[in-house]
């Protein structure tokens, strides 16, 4: 995942771009990037899925791990840019009950 | 969700939701009307419907639908708890919400694009006024976000149970059961949905560590899954180990659903408590009852509405296309049966037992067909129920007060008819509210109740269903209708002068007719009543209109019960057969050839049958169909063209005609006429056919688009012998033949009046009289009914007392009068031994009174009936009616009573 440069967003908010699909072959790399992004102090984290078309089981696990970390650090977490198909999966798994998800 | 969920489940959700909305509309109206006095039962019904809709919307991820229904639910909860009274303003917002929900259901997949902000804002304002944050409740229900639990309404569970599903709690691990199986979560869910229904799902993240170790964890997805599959098959279908699937105790679930009574509050209750005990590792039977779930027995049903008593096992939702398919098959079966009977007719004795087999087939076919038709029957109340809301909205926008009363909502019609009635009835109701019912002030000024009334009444009559829409408004003014009709060139001035009020009022059904000067949002475009008539006639029905100026109007729609299989009379003309729906047939009339001249007449160039003192217009089916009429020539026994133009052939008989063969064919039995009397509304007419066959149950087949414009036909059918025949449309035939029933009725009335007048004149001319003389050669006549007795009296028996003469009559002295003393006539000659005394019949108050005097006459000539016209005479004196020639003698007609009165012997008025 790629943290956006300061100035593009609110100073208290970091945007974490998925940088493509969140699948088994990419999740480890994305996980490290996300951890690095969260080293910056913030009150809000936004996961941007604008470029993700596929999220597999590990991808969902990663998103939930990110949410859990934010929750532990009292950082508000939300997801943006989910494709309609992804949105339906998230809804079926009741993820919107955990954190806000905005459809693309 | 569209790509995941089975479309048929979504369609079912939409259908159920629509039904919920239409069911609660009367309840919402009741809430508005009764305000704080509305019963909890009514509020609960509305609540459950909205909650059920919300649950489904949430499950299918229709977010806007869910948000709006959730907010409405919040307002309803306040009403239910008595914290809010259902004022018109609040109900307005709820009604708007219902409308918006309905709009979203109209295109469910685009429901999230329907703007709901306005409705949401209005509803949220109510909640905020009560110190409630509209969005708080959604979150409040998730006690622990890490363990969200299942969140779905009891309705979803019931729905699944109703469809015969078992409910499983399944656990699928994201890595082991999904990723390692080569599946994506989407594919896993797609697979699950292909064999069942995912009632709810969540991922338990309670144990997840964080970003550092998350990828090493295998998170469990908990599914609440409904399927008709057995547990072992469900395991295979879900591609999960059997130990990860637990079938929940259905008996326990049903028991708990039933036990969780709604009263006093059927709050938005997820089933979560029911299933909360079903932990991922060890799913178990539910341990806690749902607090506020609605009982199954009170769930609104398709047929019974909110008051229905159905339990899940007694009703089953079936797709309409499936029923239509069954209906078509039943139709084919009826045809097959008819053909079988035709083919085996007369062969019963050749095959032992065949008769009983055929009888059995006949009975089973009839019962099957009846049963399937019954499944398509819907109560008219499904349409009626929408009108109170329409009228309510119109009343408010028009500043009128209008009540709607519904009777006969339980009367059932075929679904297709009910659906096609929606538009015509809506037009009628809108017209009633907009044009017919006056403003309160106007109603008051004419002594009416300021609240207008519209009555919708459905009932059975004569094998048809009648729907009467009655208002107590201003009625229809024929003069105004005629003015508008002439202005719009719907009728010319010449024709207008001849039209009856009834015909004029019926001009409202003409295309483009409207009496209103301005087009409003509600009506006034002049398309309504035309649509009413056209749609009703398309259904094989007809419309009648009765109106009284200042008192109101009734529109009566008569409709067949079903359009699919109908008993019909098969008739023949010129070797072609046609079916006439029995519902239109009144009677058959057989007019013998010899009676044609006396029973069939011509009025305005059209044939009419005189039937029980009524004139019945006649239509020759052969002419309507454009056939060359033929007749069976008695001489050659061949059919030859019939060149006679008139049925009532009154040409002189050809007895003296040397070319006459055998006898006049107009008196031949083969020239008898078969007339089928048909009913169209309140009018009747006769159709002259060649042959009458039998009554058959025919299966109505739609007409080809090429002949759809032929109004004489309403469809086609196949007879038992396989031949295709057309079904005649009675109204279309009458229209095609340009029958003017009103003209005939007016003519008949005029004719009857003329006959009465002539009969009165004839009665005055024809009389029974007694002819007598007083002096020789002077003849008199008195009506026999004015004579009590004629007595022969010897002249010696007449006594004189001064100027007066008397005789003894029944022990008393009877004064006698002589005509010459009263009139300028000659006296009785002297020298007669005997004379006659005419004792007149005098009646007082209808009772024969004692005669005051007798009239002396010299001789009685005759008692006879005469038919004469009395002429005035110049003879002076009272009691002279006139004179006429009787038996070649001038005779003076007298009124003996008047003579008595003039003589002073009668005293007062007789």
- For A84-95, give the DSSP string: HHHHHHHHHTTG
Q: Sort B13 into a burial class: Cβ within 10 Å, 0-12 / 13-18 / 19+.
A: buried
Structure tokens at B758: 């002539």
A64/B208 CB distance under 8 A: yes
A69/B210 CB distance under 8 A: yes
Q: Which of B185-189, B271-275, B317-321, B806-810 has the lowest mean pLDDT?
A: B271-275
- B582 within 8 A of B700, measured Cβ to Cβ: no
- Read off the pLDDT of residues B447-462 as tens digits, 9 standing for 90 and up: 899 999 999 999 887 6
Q: Report residue B274's pLDDT band, with 50, 70 and 90 as the boundaries.
A: very low
Residue B245's DSSP bridge partners are B170
- What span, in angstroms and rounded, lies between the C-alpha atoms of B527 and B510? 9
Residue B460's DSSP bridge partners are B465
Chain B interface disruption, residue of A65, A67, A82, most B CBs within 10 A: A65
3-state DSSP helix/strand/coil % of chain A, to nearest 5: 40, 25, 35
What CATH number is given to the structural domain containing B552?
3.30.565.10
B184/A34 CB distance under 8 A: no
Which three-class secondary structure string do you get for A36-73? HHCCCCCCEEEEECCCCCCECHHHHHHHHHHHHHHHHC
pLDDT at B764: 65
Mean pLDDT of B797-816: 86
In a shared domain, residues B582 and B483:
no
- B715 within 8 A of B727, measured Cβ to Cβ: yes
In a shared domain, residues B711 and B811:
no
What CATH number is given to the structural domain containing B695?
2.40.50.180
A61/B219 CB distance under 8 A: yes
B211/A69 CB distance under 8 A: yes
Q: How far is CA B494 from CA B61, B470, B486, B498, B748, in A?
A: 67, 33, 10, 7, 21
In a shared domain, residues B721 and B586:
yes
- The H-or-E segment that residue B702 falls in is none
- What span, in angstroms and rounded, lies between the C-alpha atoms of B427 and B421? 10
Mean pLDDT of B339-357: 82
In a shared domain, residues B586 and B444:
no
- Between positions 5 and 64 of A, the ones with CB within 8 A of B are 24, 27-28, 31, 34-35, 38, 54-58, 60-62, 64
- Strand-pair category, A76-82 with A101-103: parallel
Q: Report residue B441's pLDDT band, with 50, 70 and 90 as the boundaries.
A: very high
pLDDT at B470 over 90: yes
Across chain A, how many H-helices and E-strands are there? Answer: 3, 5
Mean pLDDT of B280-288: 32
In a domain, B883, yes or no: yes
Q: Sort B642 into a burial class: Cβ within 10 Å, 0-12 / 13-18 / 19+.
A: middle
In a shared domain, residues B635 and B671:
yes
- The H-or-E segment that residue B768 falls in is strand B766-773
In a shared domain, residues B370 and B390:
no
Q: Which of A58-67, B263-272, B732-741 has the lowest mean pLDDT?
A: B263-272
Which three-class secondary structure string do you get for B285-340? CCCCCCCCCCCHHHCCECCCECCCCCCCCCCCCCCHHHHHHHHHHHHHHHHHHHHH
Distance from CA of B154 to the nearest CA of A (A): 18
- The length of chain A, given as a count of residues: 104
Distance from CA of B311 to the nearest CA of A (A): 30
pLDDT at A33 over 70: yes
pLDDT at B153: 60
Domain that residue B631 falls in: 568-649+666-739
In a shared domain, residues B86 and B45:
yes
B140 near A CB under 8 A: no
Output the average pLDDT for chain B.
77
A31/B4 CB distance under 8 A: no
Q: Which of A38, A72, A89 sits opposite B189 (nearest CB)?
A: A89
A56/B185 CB distance under 8 A: yes
- What span, in angstroms and rounded, lies between the C-alpha atoms of A65 and B210? 4
Structure tokens at B195: 């064999």
In a domain, B315, yes or no: no
Q: Find the residue in B nearest to A29 (Cα).
A: B215
In B563-654, alpha helices (H)? 596-599, 621-625
Q: Report residue B279's pLDDT band, with 50, 70 and 90 as the boundaries.
A: very low
B148/A94 CB distance under 8 A: yes
Mean pLDDT of B738-753: 69
- Read off the pLDDT of residues B170-208 as tens digits, 9 standing for 90 and up: 888 888 888 888 888 888 888 887 778 888 888 877 667
B174 near A CB under 8 A: yes
Q: Report residue B289's pLDDT band, with 50, 70 and 90 as the boundaries.
A: very low
pLDDT at B450: 92
B184/A57 CB distance under 8 A: yes
Structure tokens at A102: 């905005």
pLDDT at B780: 92
Q: How far is CA B294 from CA B41, B264, B878, in A?
A: 11, 10, 98
pLDDT at A10 over 60: no
pLDDT at B521: 41
SS3 (DSSP) at B449: coil
Please list every residue in chain B whose beta carbon sits closer than 8 Å to the beta carbon of residue A94. 148, 151, 200-203
Of A35, A4, A100, A99, the C-alpha closest to B214 is A35
Please list every residue in chain A whose beta carbon sits closer than 8 Å to the beta carbon of residue B175. 57-58, 61
Residue A11's DSSP bridge partners are none
Q: Sort B776 into a burial class: Cβ within 10 Å, 0-12 / 13-18 / 19+.
A: exposed
Q: Find the residue in A nearest to B176 (Cα).
A: A57
Mean pLDDT of B817-839: 87
Of residues B616 and B144, more confidently modeled:
B616
B186/A66 CB distance under 8 A: no
In a domain, B657, yes or no: no
Write the Ramachandran bin of B607: left for phi over 0, alpha for psi from -120 to 50, otherwise beta.
beta
| DSSP symbol at B805 | E
A68 near B CB under 8 A: yes
Percentage of chain B exceeding pLDDT 90: 7
Segments of B426-515 assigned E as strands: 452-461, 464-471
B184 near A CB under 8 A: yes
B11 near A CB under 8 A: no
A61/B186 CB distance under 8 A: no
Q: What's the domain count of chain B?
A: 6
How far is CA B150 from its chain centroid? 50
pLDDT at B250: 76
Of residues B651 and B701, more confidently modeled:
B701
pLDDT at B386 over 70: yes
Mean pLDDT of B723-746: 79
- B904 within 8 A of B879, measured Cβ to Cβ: no
Q: Report residue B785's pLDDT band, with 50, 70 and 90 as the boundaries.
A: confident
B186/A24 CB distance under 8 A: no
Q: Report residue B906's pLDDT band, with 50, 70 and 90 as the boundaries.
A: low
B210/A65 CB distance under 8 A: yes
B223 near A CB under 8 A: no
pLDDT at B141 over 70: no
Highest average pLDDT, of A79-93, B48-62, B662-676, comes from: A79-93
- B247 within 8 A of B278, measured Cβ to Cβ: no
Percentage of chain B exceeding pLDDT 70: 81
pLDDT at B828 over 70: yes
pLDDT at A4 over 80: no
In B61-172, alpha helices (H)? 63-80, 88-106, 117-129, 136-140, 154-162
B205/A64 CB distance under 8 A: yes
- What span, in angstroms and rounded, lies between the C-alpha atoms of B470 and B456? 7
Mean pLDDT of B149-162: 67
pLDDT at B297 over 50: no
Single residue among B495, B526, B560 that ends a domain in this structure: B560
Q: Find the residue in B nearest to A56 (Cα).
A: B184
Size of interface A-B (CB pairs under 8 A): 104
Mean pLDDT of B520-541: 66
Domain that residue A29 falls in: 2-103
B61/A91 CB distance under 8 A: yes
- What span, in angstroms and rounded, lies between the C-alpha atoms of B646 and A49? 88
B201/A89 CB distance under 8 A: no
- Read off the pLDDT of residues B45-70 as tens digits, 9 standing for 90 and up: 888 888 878 877 877 778 888 889 88
Q: What phi and psi, each to the nearest 5 degrees, are found at residue B442?
A: -65, -40
pLDDT at B746: 65
Of residues B796 and B287, more confidently modeled:
B796
Which three-class secondary structure string do you get for B496-561? HHHCCHHHHHHHHHCCCCCCCCCCCCCCCCCCHHHHHHHHHHHCCCEEEEEEECCCEEEEEEEEEC
Residue B470's DSSP bridge partners are B455, B554
Q: How far is CA B35 from CA B21, B384, B406, in A?
A: 20, 23, 21
Please list every residue in chain A whose beta carbon sits closer than 8 Å to the beta carbon of residue B217. 61
Highest average pLDDT, of A8-12, A13-17, B234-238, B533-537, comes from: A13-17
- B868 within 8 A of B779, measured Cβ to Cβ: no
Q: How far apart are the first and last CA of chain A?
A: 18
- What span, in angstroms and rounded, lies between the C-alpha atoms of B688 and B62? 63
A97/B142 CB distance under 8 A: yes
Chain A interface disruption, residue of B191, B215, B222, B239, most A CBs within 10 A: B215
In a shared domain, residues B508 and B577:
no
How far is CA B767 from its chain centroid? 54
Quickly count: other Cβ atoms within 10 Å of residue B233's Cβ: 12
Q: Which of B9-23, B64-78, B255-269, B786-800 has the lowest mean pLDDT?
A: B255-269
In a shared domain, residues B162 and B132:
no
Of B99, B818, B774, B730, the C-alpha closest to B393 is B99
Q: Report residue B553's pLDDT band, with 50, 70 and 90 as the boundaries.
A: very high
- B470 within 8 A of B487, measured Cβ to Cβ: no
pLDDT at B516: 55
3-state DSSP helix/strand/coil % of chain B, to nearest 5: 40, 25, 35
Mean pLDDT of B585-595: 84
In a domain, B758, yes or no: no
pLDDT at B314: 62
B185 near A CB under 8 A: yes
In a shared domain, residues B807 and B724:
no
What CATH number is given to the structural domain containing A15?
3.30.750.24
pLDDT at B554: 93
Tokens 């027995």 sit at which residue? B297
Tokens 């020639």 sit at which residue? B885
Q: Report residue A79's pLDDT band, with 50, 70 and 90 as the boundaries.
A: very high
Q: Sort B864 into a burial class: Cβ within 10 Å, 0-12 / 13-18 / 19+.
A: middle
B179/A67 CB distance under 8 A: no
In a shared domain, residues B175 and B236:
yes
A93 near B CB under 8 A: yes
pLDDT at A47: 93
A72/B210 CB distance under 8 A: yes
Q: What's the domain count of chain A?
A: 1
pLDDT at B711 over 80: no
- What span, in angstroms and rounded, lies between the C-alpha atoms of B671 and B5? 71
Of residues B132 and B874, more confidently modeled:
B874
A87/B174 CB distance under 8 A: no
pLDDT at B169: 85
Of B394, B504, B493, the C-alpha closest to B439 is B394
Q: What phi and psi, each to the nearest 5 degrees, are found at residue A7?
A: 100, -30
Chain A interface disruption, residue of B210, B216, B218, B223, most A CBs within 10 A: B210
Mean pLDDT of B56-85: 83
SS3 (DSSP) at B633: coil
Q: Report residue B437's pLDDT band, with 50, 70 and 90 as the boundaries.
A: very high
Mean pLDDT of B494-517: 76
Of B853, B902, B892, the C-alpha closest to B775 is B892
Q: Report residue B348's pLDDT band, with 50, 70 and 90 as the boundaries.
A: confident
In a domain, B115, yes or no: yes
pLDDT at B417: 83
B96 near A CB under 8 A: no
In a shared domain, residues B433 and B543:
yes
Chain B interface disruption, residue of A58, A75, A91, A92, most B CBs within 10 A: A92
Quickly count: other Cβ atoms within 10 Å of residue B319's Cβ: 12
pLDDT at B296 over 70: no
Chain B interface disruption, residue of A57, A73, A74, A93, most B CBs within 10 A: A57
Distance from CA of B109 to the nearest CA of A (A): 12
Q: Find the residue in A nearest to B146 (Cα).
A: A98
- B674 within 8 A of B689, measured Cβ to Cβ: yes
């Amino acid at each position: 995942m790629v943290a956006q440069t300061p100035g593009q967003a609110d100073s208290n908010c970091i945007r974490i771009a998925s940088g493509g699909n969140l699948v088994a072959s990419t999740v480890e790399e994305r996980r490290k990037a996300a951890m690095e992004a969260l080293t910056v102090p913030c009150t809000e984290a936004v996961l941007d899925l604008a470029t993700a078309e596929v999220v597999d089981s590990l991808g969902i696990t990663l998103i939930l791990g990110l949410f859990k970390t934010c929750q532990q650090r009292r950082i508000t977490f939300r997801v943006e840019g989910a494709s309609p198909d992804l949105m339906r999966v998230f809804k079926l798994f009741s993820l919107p009950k955990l954190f806000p998800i905005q459809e693309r | 969700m569209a790509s995941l969920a089975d479309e048929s489940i979504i369609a079912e959700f939409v259908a159920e939701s629509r039904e919920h909305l239409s069911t609660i509309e009367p309840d919402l109206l009741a809430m508005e009307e009764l305000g704080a006095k509305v019963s909890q039962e009514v509020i609960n019904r509305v609540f459950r419907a909205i909650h059920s809709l919300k649950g489904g919307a949430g499950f299918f991820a229709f977010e806007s639908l869910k948000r709006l229904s959730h907010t409405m639910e919040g307002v309803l909860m306040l009403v239910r708890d008595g914290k809010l009274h259902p004022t018109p303003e609040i109900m307005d917002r709820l009604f708007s919400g219902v409308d918006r929900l309905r709009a979203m259901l109209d295109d469910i997949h685009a429901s999230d694009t329907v703007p709901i902000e306005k409705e949401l804002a209005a509803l949220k304002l109510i909640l905020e006024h009560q110190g409630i944050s509209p969005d708080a409740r959604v979150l409040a229900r998730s006690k622990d976000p890490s363990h969200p639990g299942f969140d779905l309404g009891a309705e979803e569970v019931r729905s699944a149970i109703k469809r015969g599903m078992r409910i499983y709690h399944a656990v699928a691990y994201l890595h082991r059961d999904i990723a390692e199986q080569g599946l994506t979560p989407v594919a896993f869910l797609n697979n699950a949905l292909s064999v069942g229904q995912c009632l709810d799902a969540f991922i338990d993240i309670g144990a997840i560590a964080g970003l550092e170790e998350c990828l090493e964890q295998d998170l469990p997805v908990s599914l609440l899954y409904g399927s008709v599959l057995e547990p072992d098959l469900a395991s295979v279908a879900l591609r999960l180990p059997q130990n990860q699937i637990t079938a929940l105790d259905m008996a326990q679930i049903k028991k708990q659903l039933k036990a969780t009574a709604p009263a006093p509050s059927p709050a938005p209750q997820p089933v979560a408590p029911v299933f909360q005990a079903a932990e991922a590792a060890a799913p178990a039977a539910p341990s806690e009852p749902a607090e506020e779930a609605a009982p199954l027995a009170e769930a609104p049903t398709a047929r019974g509405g909110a008051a229905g008593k159905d339990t899940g096992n007694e009703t089953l939702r079936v797709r309409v296309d499936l029923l239509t398919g069954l209906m078509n098959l039943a139709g084919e079966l009826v045809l097959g049966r008819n053909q079988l009977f035709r083919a085996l007719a007369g062969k019963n004795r050749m095959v032992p037992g065949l008769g009983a087999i055929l009888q059995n087939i006949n009975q089973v076919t009839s019962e099957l067909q009846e049963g399937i038709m019954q499944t398509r029957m819907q109560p008219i109340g499904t349409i009626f129920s929408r009108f109170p809301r329409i009228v309510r909205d119109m009343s408010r926008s028009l500043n009128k007060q209008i009540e709607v009363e519904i009777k006969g909502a339980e009367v059932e019609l075929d679904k297709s008819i009910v659906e096609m009635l929606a538009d015509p009835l809506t037009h009628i109701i809108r017209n009633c509210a907009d044009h017919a019912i006056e403003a309160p002030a106007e109603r008051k000024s004419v002594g009416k109740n300021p609240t207008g009334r519209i009555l919708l009444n459905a009932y059975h009559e004569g094998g048809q269903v009648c729907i009467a829409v009655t208002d107590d408004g201003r009625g229809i003014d024929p003069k105004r209708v005629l003015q508008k009709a002439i202005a719009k060139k719907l009728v010319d001035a010449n024709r207008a002068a001849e039209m009856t009020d009834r015909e004029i009022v019926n001009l409202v059904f003409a295309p483009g007719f409207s009496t209103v000067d301005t087009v409003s949002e509600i009506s006034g475009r002049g398309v309504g009543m035309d649509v009413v008539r056209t749609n009703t006639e398309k259904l094989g029905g007809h419309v009648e209109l009765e109106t009284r100026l200042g008192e109101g109007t009734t529109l009566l729609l008569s409709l067949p019960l079903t359009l699919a299989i109908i008993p019909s009379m098969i008739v023949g003309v010129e070797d072609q057969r046609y079916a006439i729906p029995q519902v239109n047939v009144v009677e058959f009339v057989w007019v013998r050839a010899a009676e044609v001249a006396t029973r069939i007449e011509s009025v305005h160039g059209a044939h009419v049958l005189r039937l029980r003192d009524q004139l019945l217009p006649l239509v020759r089916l052969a002419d309507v169909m454009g056939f060359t009429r033929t007749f069976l020539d008695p001489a050659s026994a061949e059919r030859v063209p019939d060149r006679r133009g008139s049925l009532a052939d009154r040409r002189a008989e050809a007895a003296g005609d040397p070319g006459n063969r055998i006898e006049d064919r107009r008196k031949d039995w083969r020239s008898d006429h078969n007339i089928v009397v048909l009913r169209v509304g309140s009018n009747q007419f006769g159709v002259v056919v060649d042959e009458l066959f039998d009554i058959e149950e025919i299966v109505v087949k739609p007409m080809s688009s090429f002949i759809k414009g032929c109004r004489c036909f309403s469809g086609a059918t196949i007879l038992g012998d396989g031949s295709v025949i057309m079904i005649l449309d009675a109204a279309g035939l009458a229209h095609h033949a340009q029958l003017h029933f009103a003209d005939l009725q007016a003519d008949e009335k005029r004719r009857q009046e003329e006959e009465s007048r002539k009969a009165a004149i004839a009665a005055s001319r024809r009389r029974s009289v007694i002819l007598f003389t007083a002096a020789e050669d002077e003849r008199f006549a008195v009506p026999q009914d004015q004579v009590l007795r004629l007595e022969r009296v010897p002249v010696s028996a007449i006594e004189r007392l001064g100027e007066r003469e008397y005789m003894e009559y029944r022990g008393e002295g009877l004064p006698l009068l002589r005509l010459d003393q009263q009139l300028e006539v000659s006296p009785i000659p002297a020298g007669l031994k005997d004379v006659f005394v005419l004792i007149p019949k005098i009646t007082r108050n209808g009772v024969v009174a004692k005669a005051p005097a007798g009239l002396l006459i010299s001789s009685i000539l005759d008692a006879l009936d005469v038919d004469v016209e009395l002429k005035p005479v110049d003879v002076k004196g009272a009691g002279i009616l006139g004179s006429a020639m009787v038996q070649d003698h001038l005779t003076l007609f007298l009124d003996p009573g008047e003579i008595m009165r003039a003589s002073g012997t009668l005293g007062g008025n007789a």
